[in-house]
Amino acid sequence: MVLPLVILTVLALFNRFNKGVLRIVNAYFIIVGIIVFAISSADIPYLQYFNKHIGFSVFNWLGYSVETYGMIVDDNSLFAYLLLYLFVVVFFIFFVIKIRQYVLRRFKGNVDKRDLKFYIPILFCFLCICLLGTRGLIHKRLVLADSYFCNQLMLCQMVVNPVFYLLNTPVSAQAVSLENEYDSLELINEELGFNIVDRNYYEKGVMTSDTLKQPNIVMVLIESFSSDYLNDSIGAKPLMPYVNELKNKSYYFDNIYSQGTHTNQGIVSSLYGFPAIFDVVMSMKAPIELNHVSYEDEKYNNTRKAVPLYHGLPNDLKRYGYQNLFFVTNSLAFDNLDYFLPLNGFDECFGVKDYPSSEQVGIWGVSDKYLFDFSLSKMDSVCQEGISFYANILTISNHPPYALPGEFLKNGIPEDQAAMSYSDYCIMEFMDEISKKDWYNNTIFVFLGDHGKVKEQKYDIPLSLTHIPLIIYSPLFENEARTVSDLGGQIDVYATLMGLIDKAPAYNTFGIDLLKDRRPYIYFTSDDKLGCLGNDYYYISDLSSGRELLYELSDNSISNKIEQNRSLADSMRRYSGSMIEGAKHIFKNYLK
């Protein structure tokens, strides 16, 4: 915004100032102001929800125009920010126009040459203030790392201008190299036993078992299911009484983390044992700029058909005659699932087009209750044909804008807690109905989050955003219930489930069988940040600011202890960085 002011000043000094130039600069300021205030206003609820400022990854979702528009219009909590934005923009436009009118009245004639001795020093001072006055510009360029002046993350976030943040973050964090390929190959070979530079890395070469159990498997990916919700309560009553009761008679894994912070990443990690790669939409092979287009535009269909082809749980079960089903409440086109799922092992996929319009309750389609009822009828039909099935159900309740029955909002609790209370009710009803079916006793049920939700703002990647429950229940092993507290992630679900049906996974993945093996660390990404968690320490690499952080989990002061524990931080960086670099190599070169 400095440049047009300098131009106007110079033109005025040389008597080239006119109404036309002023109108152009006026329009320029108004357009820039509208954009700047839009980013700044939207950044307030975004920072509150995601614990970070708006970065380039947000553009991944702008192509989904219907859902994006609906999230803004239907979410009442955003109304105040929208009003604030409109008020500021209207005032700004009025202010700029008034300045233009004043300038036109004030400067009607030519600049007197005798006044140059007055104007030139003012211009010089103006340039010094604009170009040299900002702290840091004299000795170095300001970077995001300069804003981290204390251990209170929110205070550090508040001093950062949202536009500055947006313009100083990488367009895509996937382009940043974390470890060299040789080191990644060596570590992955050592830890996981396969070669990432082999195009057929996924071929494990194991013998199939003739004694394979063929239980049905139902996996429920619950929207934004942070583990913290299991400890929440409404008064003296647990927020999620049924799920809490269910976990006590299940294999309950209480130290599990999502690999990413977006639903498509949760799907790929949980089903195929493949890590989330920063801001990548894992269900599309298109580069990031092509993800911005509307998914309904037919000319991009060929691009959307070029999906990554993974190897994991659906593919493995399909080899043994399973019928694979996938259910969502909204459009399957969101996250490219309409093309992705059929090419990655699923026989039938159901979305909003398969449900009556009378059952739609908001922009995210039908309610979870209807979704569970509908999926149950389809599973029952498959079982009546004598076919084993694998069903994946993706819920939506805990995603704003919330569309919940009125009775769940009467307790005066926050909407996200009301949503989880409703989810608990829907799961209870679902399991109660299934228990009446003949095939119930031969079914394994898996409940986990697609990712968590920000419940605390302690770290750059809040642990509540990735810490999720994993509950595996079945009448087949109800008497073997226990809690497993070893570190794990969504990438371990595939191997663990195959172990429960007495079968080694047919494909190499980044996961392990949580009931048989242990991992040194678990890692995850959040757009432009990489996290690696051990039993006692938490390492974070912030690619935008270039900072490395090492927190001791038992230390409430939240101080960065990387200098005192450099070797540990290097070990955690090498482990997590190598895994992500290996996944990037495979995603780029082989998943075709």
Are 250 and 311 within one domain? yes
- The CB density around residue 160, as the number of other CB atoms within 10 Å, is 19
Considering the domain boundaries, does residue 409 fall inside one? yes
CATH of the domain at 348: 3.40.720.10
Note whether residue 126 is domain-resident.
no
Q: Do 583 and 504 fall within a single domain? A: yes
Are 92 and 231 members of one domain? no
Verify that 156 and 248 share a domain, yes or no. Answer: no
- In a domain? residue 52: yes
Q: Are residues 398 and 331 in the same domain?
A: yes
Domain membership flag for residue 196: no
Per-residue pLDDT of the chain (592 residues; tens, 9 = 90+): 777 877 877 777 777 777 888 888 889 999 999 999 999 998 998 888 888 888 877 776 666 656 666 666 667 778 888 899 999 999 999 998 888 888 777 766 666 666 666 667 767 777 776 666 555 455 567 778 888 888 777 788 888 899 988 887 766 676 677 888 788 889 999 999 999 888 889 988 665 655 567 999 999 999 999 999 999 998 889 999 999 999 999 999 999 999 999 999 999 999 999 999 998 999 988 765 566 566 566 666 777 788 999 999 999 999 889 999 999 999 998 899 999 999 999 999 999 999 999 999 988 999 999 999 999 999 999 999 999 999 999 999 999 889 899 899 887 889 999 999 999 999 999 999 999 999 999 999 999 999 999 988 789 899 999 999 999 999 999 899 999 999 999 999 999 999 999 888 899 999 999 999 999 999 999 988 999 999 999 999 998 888 899 999 998 888 899 999 999 999 999 999 999 999 999 999 998 8
Residue 434: name the closest of 487, 506, 383, 498 by CA. Answer: 383
Are 237 and 88 in the same domain? no
> With left for phi above 0 and alpha for psi between -120 and 50, is residue 336 left, alpha or beta?
left
Give a yes or no: residue 279 inside a domain.
yes
Residue pointed to by tokens 């006590």: 248
Question: Can you give the residue range of the structural domain that contains 337?
Answer: 221-589
* Whether residues 149 and 228 fall in one domain: no
Q: What H or E segment, with its residue span, contains residue 538?
A: strand 537-542
Looking at this protein, which amino acid is placed at residue 574? R
Angular region, 365: left φ>0, alpha ψ -120 to 50, beta rest: left
- Residue 111: the pLDDT is 60
Q: Report how many domains make up the chain.
A: 2
Domain contains 202: no
Domain match, 503 and 422 both? yes
User: Does a structural domain hold residue 65?
Assistant: yes
Whether residues 286 and 162 fall in one domain: no
- Do both 434 and 563 map to the same domain? yes
Centre a 10 Å sphere on the Cβ of residue 373 and count the other Cβ atoms it contains. Answer: 16
230 and 156 together in one domain: no
pLDDT at 151 (0 to 100)? 76
**Does 127 fall in a domain?**
no
Question: Same domain for 444 and 564?
Answer: yes
pLDDT value for 100:
83
CB of 322 within 8 A of CB of 388?
A: yes
pLDDT (0 to 100) of residue 257 = 98
pLDDT at residue 273 in the model: 97
Task: Please choose, from the candidates 504, 465, 467, 502, the residue with its C-alpha nearest in 3D space to the C-alpha of residue 485.
Answer: 467
Predicted local confidence at residue 145, as pLDDT: 80
The predicted structure's pLDDT at residue 368: 97
User: Residue 149's pLDDT is what?
Assistant: 83
